[in-house]
Amino acid sequence: MSDSAREVEHRGGCHCGAFQFTLTVPPIEGALRCNCSICSKNDYLWTFPRRSQFAVVQGDETMLTSYLFGKRGIAHKFCPTCGTSLMEVRTPECKDEKTPEIGINIRALQDFDLDSLKIELFEGGIDLEPAYQVPEPVPTGPAPEGTTAYHGSCHCGAVAYTALLTVEEISEATLCNCSICARDAVLWTYPESTSVFTRGFDTDAVEYTFKRKWVFHGFCKHCGVSIFELFRNTNTHNDTKTVVNVRTINTIDAGSGQWVGMDVGKIKMRVFDGKTRI
């Protein structure tokens, strides 16, 4: 059977629905996970169709925010309203003809079983030149006894934080499967707001909320990385928290001094069934 005869149409889009597309391809059985700085912070799961297999059915690509960095050969595109990271597109500045013209973040596909995917790891992303320059950390005073300062940020550095976390707060994280968290691939830890020092939360982040409008998801308006969420007027203990995405913690290799990202494989995941509870 030819590939065209086996093609399946998938519907995808951002969370708010402003941008929607179809992807008509043979069954998607695998995905690429890259360990470069931007892919690690967003935990993209990539598939690389032909341009002709991708069609926009709501909105248009010009409404998306494009983020470029380094050699500016790839534009990472996200919705400026809800922050969903949707795709990457090769730009004229890209000199590598082997670079796919378009990549789709499988997390943006509707009703797709991500657990069914065979993940291929591309571990050379972290070595791509130029090396990622870690954003300046947010300064704090001395960390109280029993806590350690963890510096995190979006990719471009406009939105950043330093969180004073206990061993328990950094060794476990919540993996929520609700519609927005699954798209954003976030891993949450829940420190008190008094333990989180921030930069750009008020000026360079967009807060997106929906349904009951008591949880606000914060992402950088420049690079699209999801960084934090805030609970407001829930009358629960969460109202005093600044919840941060541990994928955005900047870890530095002691030997080379280079960014290596957060090793989330060492973190115990607590699964929250937001899909049915929210």
Mean pLDDT by 10 residues, the chain (278 residues): 75 98 97 96 98 97 97 97 98 90 98 95 90 95 93 98 96 95 97 97 98 94 98 91 97 87 91 82
At residue 1, the pLDDT reads: 47
**Does 40 lie in the same domain as 120?**
yes
The confidence score (pLDDT) of residue 133 equals 94
Q: Do residues 152 and 49 share a domain?
A: no
91 found inside a domain: yes
CATH of the domain at 62: 2.170.150.70
Question: For residue 69, which of 160, 134, 163 has the smallest C-alpha distance?
Answer: 134
Tell me if 141 is assigned to some domain. Answer: no
* Same domain (yes/no): 9, 123: yes
Give a yes or no: residue 168 inside a domain.
Answer: yes
Amino acid 256: pLDDT: 85
Is residue 140 domain-resident? no
Is 137 domain-assigned? no
- Is position 143 within any domain? no
CB half-sphere exposure, 164, CA atoms < 13 A? 15
In a domain, 121, yes or no: yes
What is the gyration radius of the CA atoms in the chain, in angstroms?
A: 19
Indicate the pTM of the whole model: 0.94
Show the domain range for 20.
4-127
Domain endpoint, select from 127, 156, 175: 127
The answer on 123 and 153 residing in a single domain is no
Residues 181 and 223 grouped into a single domain: yes
Encoded tokens for 50: 């032909």
Q: What is the pLDDT of residue 2?
A: 54
Total of domains in the chain: 2
Q: What's the pLDDT at 274? A: 83
Q: What is the pLDDT of residue 3?
A: 58
Whether 22 is covered by a domain: the verdict is yes
160 & 63 share domain: no
